[in-house]
């Protein structure tokens, strides 16, 4: 037993606070874009998201992804993955 067996690893249970929920709702509402990069930056309403650490975490945990492939550095529409949608719950999902 390594200590993660009972509680799970951080990747298995992402931290979801008010800021992360707001970011997920914005992406779900069709207001987000991500840069095509190994460290994707998130843009909401055309503005760079102020918490890029959280944005990178959303992408690396598979909660947000680009809607289509793009060239390195290109901005593409952001979409929620099924896992990202599940974190919001049915009452908070936006229909785009």
Q: pLDDT value at position 92?
A: 57
Mean pLDDT of 4-31: 74
- In the numeric block, the tokens 């975490």 are attached to 57
Task: Give the DSSP H/E element, type plus range, for residue 23.
Answer: helix 18-28
- Domain ranges, ordered by start, for the chain: 4-88
36 and 69 in contact (C-beta within 8 Å)? yes
* pLDDT tier for residue 16 given thresholds of 50, 70 and 90: confident
What's the predicted TM-score (pTM) here?
Answer: 0.78
CA pair distance 69, 48, nearest whole angstrom: 20
């Amino acid at each position: 037993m390594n200590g993660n067996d009972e509680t799970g690893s951080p990747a298995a249970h992402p931290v979801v606070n008010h800021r992360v929920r707001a970011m997920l709702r914005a992406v779900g509402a069709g207001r987000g874009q991500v840069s095509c990069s190994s460290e994707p930056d998130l843009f909401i309403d055309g503005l760079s998201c102020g918490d890029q650490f959280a944005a990178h975490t959303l992408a690396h945990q598979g909660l947000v992804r680009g809607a289509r492939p793009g060239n390195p550095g290109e901005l593409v529409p952001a979409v929620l993955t099924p896992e990202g949608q599940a974190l919001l719950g049915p009452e908070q999902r936006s229909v785009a």
